[in-house]
Amino acid sequence: MGSTAKPTERIGEFLVRIGALTSVQADEVLAAQRKQPGKLFGELAIELGFINDEAVNRYLEAKDKGENLNNG
């Protein structure tokens, strides 16, 4: 039963690469996540007003398709 390899690119890296988030914003989200470990990166990025749910959905769709998120 074929399973696709899990991509190695994390959501923050993906969002920075596609221009939806700056690296400074990603660092701010990670800092917030350390204070609230139960919260997901995408959830915090939305709460902080850096992105909308469309950006998170774009990442999830790419991940679900098994795309190599590092190639584009």
Of 7 and 19, the one with more pLDDT: 19
The full set of domain ranges for the chain reads 11-66
Percentage above 70 pLDDT, the chain: 81
Note whether 53 and 60 are within 8 A (CB).
Answer: no
Neighbours of 3 (CB within 10 A): 6
Predicted TM-score of the model (pTM): 0.77
Structure confidence at residue 69 (pLDDT): 53
Measure the N-to-C terminal CA separation of the chain; round to a whole number of Å. 26
Task: Judge whether 59 and 65 are in contact, CB under 8 Å.
Answer: no
pLDDT at 55 over 70: yes
